[in-house]
Amino acid sequence: EAEVAQSPRYKITEKSQAVAFWCDPISGHATLYWYRQILGQGPELLVQFQDESVVDDSQLPKDRFSAERLKGVDSTLKIQPAELGDSAMYLCASSLTSGRSYNEQFFGPGTRLTVL
């Protein structure tokens, strides 16, 4: 069964360090999303890609966060420098396309980030 892959599953870092997360969407899925889920909250969208282009990054803290999907397949989310408030689960999701009535997004297992 096709799945969204993410690595690492867990990451512990000290504040002011740089961290990077990787996501490989389901094969053939043109749309890729990064969400952040703080404990006790629902996932919140950080950035959306359609192929290699950014569709929506309005909620991405661009002073420290960056995201890329250079070849329109896998994607990397980076935080530099990490802050204590960045501790959260970072979820990647993919879907066949965007703008459909039923935008079923498939989620990966997430990366749990702890900033000390």
Binding site for another protein (CB under 8 A): 4, 6, 33, 35, 40-45, 48, 50, 55-56, 91, 93, 98-110, 112
Taking a C-beta distance cutoff of 8 angstroms, is the pair 116, 12 a contact? yes
Closest contact distance (angstroms) between CB of 112 and another protein is: 7
Q: What is the DSSP string of 23-91?
A: EE--TT--EEEEEEE-TTS--EEEEEEETTEEEE-TTS-TTTEEEE-TTSS-EEEEESS--GGG-EEEE
Residue 22 CB, nearest distance to another protein (Å)?
15
Tell me whether residue 48 or residue 75 sits nearer to another protein (CB atom): 48
Q: Which is nearer to another protein, 33 or 86 (CB)?
A: 33
